A = this chain, B = another copy of it.
Amino acid sequence: MWIYEKKLQYPVKVGKCDPRMAKFLIEQYGGADGELAAALRYLNQRYTIPGKVIGVLNDIGTEEFAHLEMIATMVYKLTKDATAEQMEAAGLGAHYANHDNALFYHNAVGVPWTAAYIQAKGDPIADLYEDIAAEEKARATYQWLIDMTDDVDIQDGLKFLREREIVHSLRFRECVEILKEDMAAKKFF
C-alpha cells in the first residue's frame, strides 16, 4: 500500500496562466508514453518479474506516480485561471465543453488513455525491454515538450523529469544484465 505525503518530488514553478502549454503537457499525463502509462506498467509487471528486480520496478513505479502528480500540478496551474475563451484560444475548447477546466487522462489530441499502450508478457527480458523502450519514448516526449516552450520554469521541471527517465532507462538495462547473469549461472550449475 502507499502512504500519501503532501509534497511534490520536485518543485513545480508555474508563474503564469498558459493553457496552450497545458494542452501539450497533458501528453505526459494521459498519453501513450506518459507518467500514468509508466507507473501502471511497472507496478503491474512486479508480480511475475524475478525477485531480484521486483524492488526496482516497485521503486520506479512509485516514483512515476510522483511524476504524474508533478505533471498534474503543472497542467492545473497553467489552466486554473483560464476563461472559456482562453481555453478555446489555446485549442482546449473541446476539452472545456466536456471537462471545464478539470484534468483528464487523455493525450494532447484528447484521446482517452488506454491500457493498449502498455504490455506485460510474463517473460522478464521482454518486459524489461518494454520498460527501457518506455523510458526512451518518455525521454523523447519530454524533449519535444521542452522544444515547445520558452518558459524557463516549465523547462526546469521538464528537464528534471527527462533526467529521471534517463536514469530509469539505465536501471532497467542493469536489470537485464542481472537477470542474464542469473540465467547463465543457472545454466552452468
A residues near B (Cβ < 8 Å) are: 1-5, 7-9, 23-24, 27, 30-33, 36, 40, 44-45, 47-48, 58-59, 62, 65-66, 69, 72-73, 76, 80, 84, 88, 91, 93-123, 125-127, 129-130, 132-133, 136-137, 139-141, 143-145, 147-148
Contact = CB atoms under 8 A, between A and B. Distances in A.
Contacts of A58: 4
Given A133-B132, A140-B100, A94 B120 contact: no
Contacts of A125: 136
Nearest to A94: B108
A98 to B, nearest CB: 6
A47 B98 CA distance: 16
Contact of A126 (B44, B104, B137): B137
Q: Which of A103, A117, A139, A144 has the most CB of B within 10 A?
A: A144
A39 to B, nearest CB: 10
Given A117-B116, A122-B100, A140-B122, A94 B23 contact: yes
A45 B139 CA distance: 18
Given A2-B62, A76-B47, A133-B126, A97 B102 contact: no
Given A66-B2, A97-B141, A116 B122 contact: no
Contacts of A44: 72, 102-105
B115 A105 contact: yes
26 contacts: A1-B8, A2-B2, A2-B5, A2-B62, A3-B62, A24-B96, A32-B116, A44-B103, A44-B104, A47-B72, A47-B76, A48-B100, A84-B144, A97-B148, A98-B144, A99-B122, A100-B121, A100-B122, A100-B123, A104-B120, A111-B111, A121-B136, A121-B140, A123-B136, A126-B139, A129-B136
